[in-house]
Chain A
Amino acid sequence: MLLVLADASDDVATGVARAATGAAVPWLWLTPADLSAARWAHSLLGSSVATRVVTADGRELDLADATGVLNRLSWLPPVALSRPEDRQYAMAEQHALLTSVLASLPRPVVNPVRPPSLAGPMLDLAGWMAIATRCGIPTGGMRATTNGRRWTAPGWQRLPWQSVMNPAHGAAPPSHPSVPTGSRPVVWAEPLDPGPVITAVGTRVFGAPDPAWQGHARRLAAAAGCPLLQVTLGARGPSWVLVGVEPTPPVAPPAAAHALLGLLTGTSPAPGTPA
């Protein structure tokens, strides 16, 4: 049985569930509310780690029986408790439990847990740029400064620093181009034209503009330990550079859903596996 952990409205999970139905692969979808309402018994006895879950409607699962897990939840939503400090504590405790559960499963989990996130690494754009650079992948130019007067980049775009330096992609205050930066913090970004969006699923790559970018996307996914990864490119003249990465893409091409199903059921190789 394929286990899907996702919000009820998750498009990527819906695509995979449809593909599973079409392939007669049994699946079970648990939402954050289902996870919160379930009874859990997660035991660690030396090298033996086991998890039993009983859902609110009485279904009993031994998670070792899952053939794969598609996890679309990076975080669990706040628990409905009256005191804010209790809500925060309860959320951290549930998150800690699910972190350990997902890390213990013997079959593929996409994307794998990587604390503090439940689904892949929690990196901001700056962090992704660093991994890409290490992998030899061309990236758009980007410079951060706490003082826009100290370090200027004429002709470059001004981005709110919170949109680049915040792993949670927190809301950045609006920054109108006519307002001078002065000594405020800023990230300068090389001006680029929009480019294609690539989706990597294991060793399969969809939407790459050329074979080189197929390889780049695979390498980045493998380096990040993220079988599912979406990469946004920008155009620098005739060539492409990386400008964005999303390990939990909100949408994916239909073919990616079938590739994901293959990855989760063991019929498609994971990153790092020779194709």
Chain B
Amino acid sequence: MIVLWGIPSEPPLRLAIESARRAGLEHVVVNQRDAAHHDLDVDLTRRTHGTLVVDGVEIPLGDIDGIYVRIMEPDRLPEHRPGTPAHRIERSAAFHAMLLDWVEVAPCRVANRTAPMASNGSKPYQAQQIHRAGFQTPLTLVTNDPAEVLQFEARHGPLVYKSTSSIRSIVSPLDDRSRQRLDRLPALPTQFQRRETGTDIRVHVVGPHVLAARVASSALDYRYAGRDGLDLHLEPTQVPDDVADRCRNLSAALDLPFCGIDLCQRSDGSWLCYEVNPSPGYSWYQEATGLPISDALVAWLSSEK
């Protein structure tokens, strides 16, 4: 039995549900928006002892082989908006807290547990883990000192800047316009990196599976190519075995069995890793390339541990 937890219409969860159905896998969909109507009992000292109740069906926690967690923050759900009866919000909040707590220590396969996902909350912290796993990372400076930025640029060449935390930001070049705003830098340290050139490759690791997509775009941050009216083309590709192994090692080192790894293959053939997404919105890549990411995900969740 695998559990798919989130909002069923959201593409990554929808694709996982479809894959589970196609493969005939025993699964239960836990709709996050119905959390006030689900139940969970768990013995905090014996984690396999407890029951998940979804749509009136009781599932012993010990029967769960794997769980895919693709939830949004409960406080942002429409069901938590002001005007909803307080007891419903409390039930929903408690269900989220208790199931997340169980997931954190559950003996089954989990994609992914919460604590390891926090490595992405600090990109330079994660870069240190990435480097230890055998990938080069972009030369990086986090500073609030404009003079340091200019020195770094003089030493290492053109720079880009982006958020240091996991709060999403658009990768931007340090150009004349942004250089004029460096006087605002002392208010907040910002992450600068040497601008890399090469081919962007997005790798999804699912347990032992490595599925790669090549990205062709003239955009600096290809995620925003459509918005900026720039070209974007994704196609399935394969990475060399040693790179695939490093991706698996990185996934294991970060304790993120399901992750999206952003790589760059430089023109000299070397590989560099930008970052690892701990909750990949893989549907965008799957739908553009046909890579069977959701099939691999549900197969891994239901496989023998």
Interface 9-residue window, one of B19-27, B120-128, B292-300: B120-128
Check: B72 CB closer than 8 A to any chain A CB: no
* Residues from 42 to 62 in B contacting A, C-beta threshold 8 Å: 42-47, 53
Interface 9-residue window, one of B76-84, B96-104, B217-225: B96-104
How many residues on chain B are close to A (CB under 8 Å)? 53
- A185 and B189 form a contact (CB under 8 A): no
State A121–B53 Cα separation when bound (angstroms): 30
The dominant DSSP class at the A interface is mixed
- A116 and B101 form a contact (CB under 8 A): no
- A93 and B163 form a contact (CB under 8 A): yes
Interface bits B259-292 vs A (CB < 8 Å: 1, else 0): 0000000000000000000000000000000000
List the B side residues contacting A150 at CB < 8 Å.
39, 41, 53
* Residues from 72 to 123 in B contacting A, C-beta threshold 8 Å: 87, 90-91, 94-95, 97-98, 101, 104-105, 115, 118-119, 121-123
The dominant DSSP class at the B interface is mixed
- A96 and B125 form a contact (CB under 8 A): yes
Tell me the minimal C-beta distance from A52 to chain B in angstroms. Answer: 9
Residue of B nearest to A49 (CB): B128
Tell me the minimal C-beta distance from A91 to chain B in angstroms. Answer: 9
Assess A94 versus B91: contact at CB under 8 Å? Given A44-B124, A100-B128. Answer: no
List the A side residues contacting B153 at CB < 8 Å.
none
Assess A124 versus B124: contact at CB under 8 Å? Given A40-B145, A130-B47, A161-B94. Answer: no
Interface 9-residue window, one of A3-11, A138-146, A205-213, A267-275: A138-146
B residues sitting closer than 8 Å to A (CB atoms) are 38-47, 53, 87, 90-91, 94-95, 97-98, 101, 104-105, 115, 118-119, 121-125, 127-128, 131, 136-137, 139-145, 148, 152, 163-167, 186-190
A residues sitting closer than 8 Å to B (CB atoms) are 39-47, 49, 54, 79, 89-90, 92-97, 99-100, 103-104, 113-116, 121-122, 124, 126-127, 129-130, 133, 139, 141-147, 150-151, 161-162, 164-166, 183-185, 187
